[in-house]
Amino acid sequence: MITKDDNSRKSIKEIEYLMEDSKKLHQILAAVITLRCPHQHLEDAARELEKDLEKQLSEKQLNDGQLSVLEFTVGGNSTGSEGGQHMSIQFVNPERRSIWEQAFREAKQKFASNLETIPMPEFISSIPIRKTRAGLQFTCAASTLGAQNDVWVCNSDGYVGQVCVLSLNAEPTVTSCNGVCNARILCVTSVPSEIEWQPDKGNAGVTNQLKSTPSFEENFENCTKSLKVQSLSAIFNNIHLDSSSSSDNESEKEFTTDAKCNIHGHSVKADLHHLQPFDCGDFTQSTMWLGTEDGCIHVYNCSDNIRIKRNKIKMQHNSAVYHILYMNNKVYVALANGDLIIYTRENLGTGWNTSDPVTLTIGSASNPITKLLNVD
């Protein structure tokens, strides 16, 4: 709520009128000078009036120094009589104050109109977070994906980055709070696994074909039993194309020995007999990506206990990581030097291509990329 002051408003209007008159008089004087007939008296009168207006404007601005100060109350009731915090903003001149105040009022009106469709969230309670070091401050937070209802809350004192895992299964509780790096954590985001990611219908490829096969899903979930796979990329190393479909029915009955899908109208088969056991958690779990001030990205599985497990992947960059955004099976990383790094997944089952990401130079060190936004 901004404090209303009728006298201040009146003085601001008077100054605005004087400035408008001075501008118009300057235009008149410029036109008078171009006259071909004798116009000395008219020019002298215009110059005298211009000096008088400048004097009045200078006196107004000098005597009404408070016009550059805006006082308002944050919080409290609508009248400002109870509660709230009183604040003052000093502007370089009354004109700047008037422009800012007008923009503030317009934004306030738009916000009030949106409350009819989007109600203000209700404050429920606060949850204390343990501090392992003095001076720790919250920097960012993100929720995990998958079955676990957790929120990773990051805080730092400038020297150490700490992650507190907040469980939301029942009552919100802090399950762990540990340091993970020797730098400030600036951003964190959750990234779905390959199995969770659903491509668009028009771009559904081998991943979608395999996912749509119930036998594959069943065997994949029980990967330590009949289907033992070292890496799903090995499947495609033994693929052969068969344009005929005479033996397709027989191969479908024994999926534990043959994997079959359809690519561009051809029958694709892969022998699974030679494949070895593998760790299903390597690429079937969603992950948390943490960006730090020293240019590192630490990747953890969402289900990891950070108290006893180290980061799954660590990627080093030459500038601070300001923001991380996941979209359409790609991870976009905004750096303080203005570069945009794009990580993509390789073939099914091989994880992220961390050794050769795409780098786009969009800004600079003086004009860095601070935020990324997903626009549908």
CATH number at residue 151: 2.130.10.10
d(CA 56, CA 264): 82
Specify if 60 maps to a domain. yes
Residues 169 and 239 both lie in one domain: no
Residues 183 and 59 both lie in one domain: no
Instruction: Show which of 280, 297, 321 is a domain's final residue.
Output: 280
Specify if 338 maps to a domain. yes
d(CA 95, CA 104): 14
Q: In the structure encoding, which two tokens stand for residue 66, read together?
A: 């408070």
Specify if 215 maps to a domain. yes
Instruction: Report, in this order, helix, strand and coil percent for the chain, each rounded to 5.
Output: 30, 30, 45
d(CA 181, CA 177): 13
Residue type, 88: S
**Backbone angles phi and psi of 269, in degrees to 5:** -125, 145
Residues 287 and 185 both lie in one domain: yes
Specify if 353 maps to a domain. yes
Residues 6+ apart with CB under 8 A from 76: 1, 82, 83, 84, 85
127-156 pLDDT, tens digit per residue, is 887 777 778 888 999 998 877 778 999 998
Quote the domain boundaries for residue 65. Answer: 6-114
Residues 58 and 171 both lie in one domain: no
Residues 145 and 29 both lie in one domain: no
Instruction: Show which of 280, 304, 331 is a domain's final residue.
Output: 280
Residues 179 and 220 both lie in one domain: no
- The predicted structure's pLDDT at residue 338: 92
Pairing of the two strands 240-242 and 266-271: antiparallel
Residues 206 and 274 both lie in one domain: yes
Specify if 370 maps to a domain. no
d(CA 207, CA 187): 30
Residues 166 and 299 both lie in one domain: yes
Q: In the structure encoding, which two tokens stand for residue 282, read together?
A: 């390597």
Domain count of the fold of the chain: 3
Q: Calculate Rg over the CA atoms of the chain.
A: 33
- The predicted structure's pLDDT at residue 269: 35
Enumerate residue ranges in the chain where pLDDT < 50. 1-4, 78-80, 200-281
Residues 292 and 188 both lie in one domain: yes
47-91 pLDDT, tens digit per residue, is 889 888 888 877 776 666 666 777 777 765 544 455 567 777 878
Residues 6+ apart with CB under 8 A from 311: 180, 298, 299, 300
Neighbouring CB atoms inside 10 A of 304's CB total 18
Residue type, 351: G
Specify if 129 maps to a domain. no
- The predicted structure's pLDDT at residue 3: 46
- The predicted structure's pLDDT at residue 278: 33
On whether the CB atoms of residues 232 and 209 are closer than 8 A, the answer is no
Helix (H, G, I), strand (E, B) or coil at 156: strand
On whether the CB atoms of residues 262 and 287 are closer than 8 A, the answer is no
Residues 216 and 269 both lie in one domain: yes
Residues 23 and 109 both lie in one domain: yes
Specify if 82 maps to a domain. yes
Neighbouring CB atoms inside 10 A of 331's CB total 21
Specify if 125 maps to a domain. no
Instruction: Show which of 233, 259, 280 is a domain's final residue.
Output: 280
Neighbouring CB atoms inside 10 A of 346's CB total 13
User: 296: exposed, middle or buried (C-beta count within 10 Å: 0-12, 13-18, 19+)?
Assistant: buried
Residues 276 and 289 both lie in one domain: no
